[in-house]
Amino acid sequence: MKIIEIEGGRQLSGTIRISGAKNATVALIPAAILTDEEATICNVPEITDTDALCDILKILNVKVNRSTESLVINTKDMKNVSIEEEYSKKLRASYYFMGALLGKYKKVEMYFPGGCSIGARPIDLHLKGFEALGATITNEKNKYIVEAKELKGANIYLDFASVGATINIMLAAVRAKGKTIIDNAAKEPEIVNVATFLNNMGAKIQGAGTSTIKIEGVDHLHKCFHEVIPDRIEAGTYIIIGALCGNPLKIDNVIPEHVDALISKLEELGINMEVGLDYVTVLNSPEKLKATNIKTAVFPGFATDLQQPFTVLLTQAEGRSKVTETIFENRFMHIPYLKALGADITIKNQTATIDGPTKLKGTEVVATDLRAGAAMVAAGLKAEGTTTITNAEHILRGYEQIIEKLTAVGAKIRIKEI
Ligand code: EPZ
C-alpha cells in the first residue's frame, strides 16, 4: 500500500503546471482503436489510469509506443479478444472499449468496469444506446457480450446527461450506417475533446459540447495527431489548495472557462485571484472567508469531482456552509476523515452542513477514492502537524506527479510504500 505523509501548515508559492486531462485521456485511448492506421496523442498524463488502459491495448495486440507525454497507438495487427475482469475492473473508463470495439468489429466481450466507489454507477444508458444502434446484449453476472450484424444510426435520448454514455454511444455510432442523434447529451469539455479527435480521424460529428450531438457514420477512420486538453479537475484542485495555503500560487495551463463555476464560488468566499488567458493565480485569502453553499451539477455547473476538495476549503469559512451532491449518491466518504482532522460537519441525505472556521490538526486518514484522496491532500497541507494518508494509490490514478508538483511550491510531502 502507498502512503502519503504531509507536514502541513506551510504557505505555498510558485507555479504549478496542469497536465493533460485524465477524463479526456481515458476516453481518447480506447477511441484510438477505431482507426485502422496510427493515432498519436500528446499531452498524455503519466497516471496509473493511463497505464491500465495501455495494458488493455496490449491484450488487443495493439502496438503502443510511449514517450514523454505522448502515445503512438498502432492498430494494424489488432485482435478483438475478450477483456477479462482483472483488466476491466482496474478503472471505470475500461467501458469505453465497449463502444469502440462494437463500432469497429460489431462485437465486444468484456466485464463490468471498476473505478471509484462513489455510487452504484450502472451502465444501463450505455447499453440502451448500443441496443438502439442495433446491438443485442447478453449479460451473465459481470460479463457482457454486445454484438450486432450491422450498426444503424438512431435517435437516442439519454434520461440523464451521462458523460460515459454520451462518449460510449459516440464511439459506437461513428462507424454505424447513417445518422445518429444523441439528445440530452452531456456537455463536458472532455466530450468535445473526444469528438475533435474522432473528427480529426475522419468522423463526422457535430454539436459536441451542446445537448444535441449528430453523428454521420463513416466506413473508415484514418491516421491522426491529437492533443489532450488541460485537466480542469486537477486545475480546480490546485486552485483550491492555493485558496487554502497559497501566497501566491499560480496554476498554469488552465482553460479558465472550464473552471468558471469554481472561480465564481471562490469569489463569493472572498479569495483574491487573477484570472489570465491560460492561468489562474490565487493571490491571497482574507483572514475571514465567507461561508457559501454549493450544489453539484453537470457541466457547466459545479463539478462533482471538485466537491470533495472544495468541502475542505469550506471548513475554513466563517459560519455555516452547505454542500449538496446531486450526481453520485456516495460521494461524502471524505467527511468522516475531515471530521477526524477537526472539521465540524454533519450529513443529512445528500447535503453536508459545515460550520466553520475550524482548525485542522494532522492525523491518520484514508483516501477512499480519487477525489476524496485529493481532499485529504488539501486538508493535510492546511492542517498543523503530520497527516498520513493511506490508500494513496487512488490519488495516483488521477494526479500526475502530485508529490513533485507540490514539493516544488514549498510543500513538505512524501510518498512511501508499506
Ligand atoms: C465521469 O464518470 C467521470 N469519469 C467522473 O470522474 C465524473 O465524476 C463524472 O463523469 C461526472 O462528471 C470518467 O470520465 C472516467 P456519468 P461517469 O455517466 O461517466 C448515472 C473522477 O473523479 N448513470 O456522467 O461514470 C451515474 O450513476 C471521476 O475523475 C446511470 O444511472 O459519470 C451517476 O449517478 C469519478 N446510468 C450519473 O448518472 C448510466 O448508464 C452521472 O454519471 C450512466 C450513468
Q: How far apart are CA 160 and CA 37, in angstroms?
A: 34
Q: Is 404 helix (H, G, I), strand (E, B) or coil?
A: helix
Write the burial class of residue 21 (CB in 10 Å: 0-12 exposed, 13-18 middle, 19+ buried): buried
pLDDT of residue 141 exceeding 90 = no
- pLDDT tens digits, one per residue of 157-176: 999 999 999 999 999 999 99
pLDDT at 74: 97
Cis, peptide link before residue 256, omega less than 30° from 0: no
Of 96, 125, 327, the one to substitute when testing ligand 1's pocket (max ligand atoms within 8 A of C-beta) is 327
CA 331 to ligand 1 centroid distance, Å:
12
Confidence class for position 369, pLDDT limits 50, 70, 90: very high
| Low-confidence winner among 117-126, 159-168, 214-223, 386-395 (lowest mean pLDDT) | 117-126
- 379 touches ligand 1 (CB under 6 Å): no
Write the burial class of residue 149 (CB in 10 Å: 0-12 exposed, 13-18 middle, 19+ buried): exposed
Q: How far apart are CA 46 and CA 58, in angstroms?
A: 17
Angle at CA 185, nearest 5°, toward 179 and 190? 105
- pLDDT tens digits, one per residue of 324-343: 999 999 999 999 999 999 99
Nearest CA owner, ligand 1 atom 26? 121
Confidence class for position 300, pLDDT limits 50, 70, 90: very high
pLDDT of residue 69 exceeding 80 = no
Which helix (H) or strand (E) segment holds residue 355: the answer is: strand 351-356
pLDDT at 101: 98
pLDDT of residue 129 exceeding 90 = yes
Q: Which parts of 115-227 are beta strand (E)? A: 136-140, 143-147, 155-157, 179-183, 204-206, 212-216, 224-227
Domain boundaries of the chain, sorted by first residue: 2-19+230-417, 22-227
Atom number in ligand 1 closest to CA 93: 15
Q: How far apart are CA 194 and CA 208, in angstroms?
A: 9
pLDDT of residue 379 exceeding 90 = yes
CA 247 to ligand 1 centroid distance, Å:
34
- 194 touches ligand 1 (CB under 6 Å): no
Atom number in ligand 1 closest to CA 125: 40
Residue range 44-51: mean pLDDT, rounded: 94
- 26 touches ligand 1 (CB under 6 Å): yes
Listed ranges 67-71, 114-118, 291-295; the one with the highest mean pLDDT: 291-295
The pairing of strands 344-348 and 351-356 is antiparallel
Confidence class for position 156, pLDDT limits 50, 70, 90: very high
- pLDDT tens digits, one per residue of 179-198: 999 999 999 999 999 999 99
Residues 381 and 8: beta-carbon distance below 8 Å = yes
pLDDT at 371: 97
Q: Which parts of 51-129 are beta strand (E)? A: 63-67, 70-74, 107-111
| Low-confidence winner among 56-60, 115-119, 143-147, 363-367 (lowest mean pLDDT) | 115-119
- 397 touches ligand 1 (CB under 6 Å): no
- pLDDT tens digits, one per residue of 245-282: 999 999 999 999 999 999 999 999 999 999 999 999 99
CA 116 to ligand 1 centroid distance, Å:
10
- 327 touches ligand 1 (CB under 6 Å): yes
- Active-site residues, by number, are 116
Fold equal for 2-19+230-417 and 22-227: yes
Q: How far apart are CA 71 and CA 40, in angstroms?
A: 6
pLDDT at 146: 97
- 304 touches ligand 1 (CB under 6 Å): yes
Residue range 201-209: mean pLDDT, rounded: 98
Contacts of 86 (CB under 8 A, 6+ apart): none
pLDDT of residue 387 exceeding 90 = yes
pLDDT at 136: 97
Atom number in ligand 1 closest to CA 118: 35
Computed from CA positions of residues 113, 116, 117, 122, in that sequence, does the dihedral angle turn out positive or negative?
negative
Confidence class for position 286, pLDDT limits 50, 70, 90: confident
pLDDT at 117: 87
Average pLDDT, the chain: 96
Number of other residues whose CB lies within 10 A of the CB of residue 17: 17
Residue range 1-26: mean pLDDT, rounded: 97
pLDDT of residue 76 exceeding 80 = yes
pLDDT at 272: 95
- 398 touches ligand 1 (CB under 6 Å): yes
* pTM of the entire predicted model: 0.97
Q: How far apart are CA 145 and CA 343, in angstroms?
A: 47
- pLDDT tens digits, one per residue of 348-361: 999 999 999 999 99
Q: Does 22-227 carry CATH code 3.50.30.60?
A: no
% of the chain exceeding 70 in pLDDT: 100
State the architecture of 2-19+230-417 in CATH terms.
Alpha-beta prism (3.65)
Say what the alpha-carbon torsion angle 269, 319, 303, 232 is, to the nearest 10 degrees.
40
CA 170 to ligand 1 centroid distance, Å:
16
> Scanning the structure block, which residue is given the C-alpha cell 504531509?
6
Residue range 50-62: mean pLDDT, rounded: 96
- 121 touches ligand 1 (CB under 6 Å): yes
pLDDT at 120: 84
Cell numbers of 319, please?
Answer: 459560519
Q: Which of 181, 183, 209, 185 is nearest to 195 (CA)?
A: 209
